[in-house]
Structures are given as structure tokens and as C-alpha cells.
Amino acid sequence: MELIKIYNGRLVNARELHTFLEVKSRFNDWINNRIKKYSFEEGKAFTKILVKGTGGRNGYDFMLTLNMAKQLCMVENNEKGNEARQYFIKCEETLKELANNKRLEAFLKLEATKEKLLKNIENYGGTQSDYFQIDYAGRKVLFNGEPLEDEELPTLLLKGRDFATEVTNVNFKEGIDFEFLENINKRSHSEIRKIVIENTSQEPEKFKPEESIKKLKKGEE
């Protein structure tokens, strides 16, 4: 059973956590108070993402590491906080128990390559939003439409995604244009799509999704 969605195997949306914990104070007051009180460091414990609102009123979403999410649950010191904290601990344990799984190995390799892409984008003046846009554009091309989540991909497609994303990584240079990078990522994923079809006679979108590699939805092995 999935209590709270975990993104990319490592991140928790602070607003979703705030809702689950049934915190009575306003979200902005709560998250800013917790960051200040417990000295959470931006870029390490959490990332802020600009969200454009209506009427020119913008706000921020906060993506938290699992460690920060667990600490926030603990300091709430209530039943909901304990439930969420135990859930996050179980999720981490499940990943560790799957350490020898070849499909997990491919998944973790892809996650590392995606993390490298994010760091490259940030190092060249981009944001996490730029990363999500570039990565999603490539995934969409691979599946010729709405893509499967990475944790549901079979080993073949995980390895293909990893290669295509690494091709994008090697194209970083001074003055890089992120639209150009997005097109490279789309092109490399398109090439992987062709290879898969030529060698399996099956389109990527026809592959059946496998059980979530993190096994979080069932909360069991």
C-alpha cells in the first residue's frame, strides 16, 4: 500500500507529506519553520521548485530527501508521523533487500545517470524543472506517447534509457541551450526505440509493465 508517493526512488513532495500528516498550520509556515529550526540545507536535504500561480502569484514546491521526510515525521510526534516514518523506513529496507537483483542493478544505474543529468543541468544554470522537462521529453519519444514509470520498466528498456540519457550527458558544453539538449535527448531515445523494435519486433509501449521495482505500492517484497 502506497501511503505517500516517492518520486525517482528518493524524493518526497513536502505538500503531500504536509497533507498526510494532517498538520494544522499553513504549509508555507510549517515548512519554513521546520527548515529554519532544524537547519535543513537547500540542495542537500531539499530542493525548491518554482510553481507559477494565477494572477502572477508564484509559489514553491519542496522536494525532500527521504532522510528529511523521516525527520519531519519524527518531530511531529503523533500517530500519523510515526506511520509515515515507518513506511519510509520499510521502503528503504525493501530496496536494500533487492540489492542483488539484475533489474534493480539496471534501475540504479539509470538513476545515477539521471542524477548526473540533473547535476549537469544545474551546473550550467538550469533548474530541476528543466531536468524534468528534458527527461520527460525523451521518455515520451521512447514510448511514442505517455511513458511507463522507470520502476515498471523491464531490464532491456532500463538499459536503453540509461544509454540514451548518457548520450545527452556527453553533449554538455559552455553556453549550452536547454532546448537543444531536449532535442538531443529526444533523438537518442528515438534511436533506442528503433533498436528495440528492430531486435524484438515489439514497440516499447507494447511491453507489459513489470511489478514496481521498489515494490512500494504493495508495501511488501
**Whether residue 25 sits in one domain with residue 121:** no
**Whether residue 89 sits in one domain with residue 75:** yes
Strands (E) in 165-213, as ranges, are none
**Whether residue 13 sits in one domain with residue 45:** yes
**Whether residue 46 sits in one domain with residue 115:** no
CA gap 167, 164 in Å, rounded: 5
**Whether residue 160 sits in one domain with residue 92:** no
User: Which residues pair with residue 59 across a beta bridge?
Assistant: 51
**Whether residue 139 sits in one domain with residue 91:** no
**Whether residue 45 sits in one domain with residue 111:** no
Q: Which residues contact 3 (CB under 8 A, 6 or more apart)?
A: 20, 83, 84, 87, 219
**Whether residue 89 sits in one domain with residue 45:** yes
**Whether residue 110 sits in one domain with residue 87:** no
Per the structure, the count of domains in the chain is: 2
Domain end position, chosen among 73, 97, 121 = 97
- Residue 25's SS3 state is coil
Sort residue 219 into left (φ over 0), alpha (ψ -120 to 50) or beta: left
Q: Answer for the pair 192, 164: CB distance below 8 angstroms, yes or no.
A: yes
**Whether residue 172 sits in one domain with residue 108:** yes
**Whether residue 49 sits in one domain with residue 29:** yes
Strands (E) in the chain, as ranges, are 6-7, 11-13, 46-51, 59-65
Mind listing the pLDDT tens digit for each residue in 10-39?
899 999 999 999 999 999 999 999 999 999
pLDDT, position 55: 67
pLDDT, position 7: 86
Q: Is residue 200 part of a domain?
A: yes
Q: Answer for the pair 45, 64: CB distance below 8 angstroms, yes or no.
A: yes
Mind listing the pLDDT tens digit for each residue in 191-219?
999 999 999 999 999 999 988 886 633 43
Q: Is residue 167 part of a domain?
A: yes
Question: Which domain, by its residues, includes 140?
Answer: 102-206
Q: Which residues contact 37 (CB under 8 A, 6 or more apart)?
A: none
Q: Is residue 213 part of a domain?
A: no
Q: Is residue 221 part of a domain?
A: no
**Whether residue 109 sits in one domain with residue 63:** no
Q: Is residue 1 part of a domain?
A: no
- Give the whole-number percent of the chain exceeding pLDDT 70: 91
Q: Which residues contact 84 (CB under 8 A, 6 or more apart)?
A: 3, 4, 17, 20, 21, 69, 73
Query: Which secondary structure element, helix H or strand E, spans residue 78, and what is its range?
Result: none
Mean pLDDT of the chain: 89
Domain end position, chosen among 53, 76, 97 = 97
pLDDT of 149 > 50? The answer is: yes
Q: Which residues contact 113 (CB under 8 A, 6 or more apart)?
A: 162, 165, 166, 169
Domain end position, chosen among 64, 97, 130 = 97
Q: Answer for the pair 40, 68: CB distance below 8 angstroms, yes or no.
A: yes
Q: Is residue 85 part of a domain?
A: yes
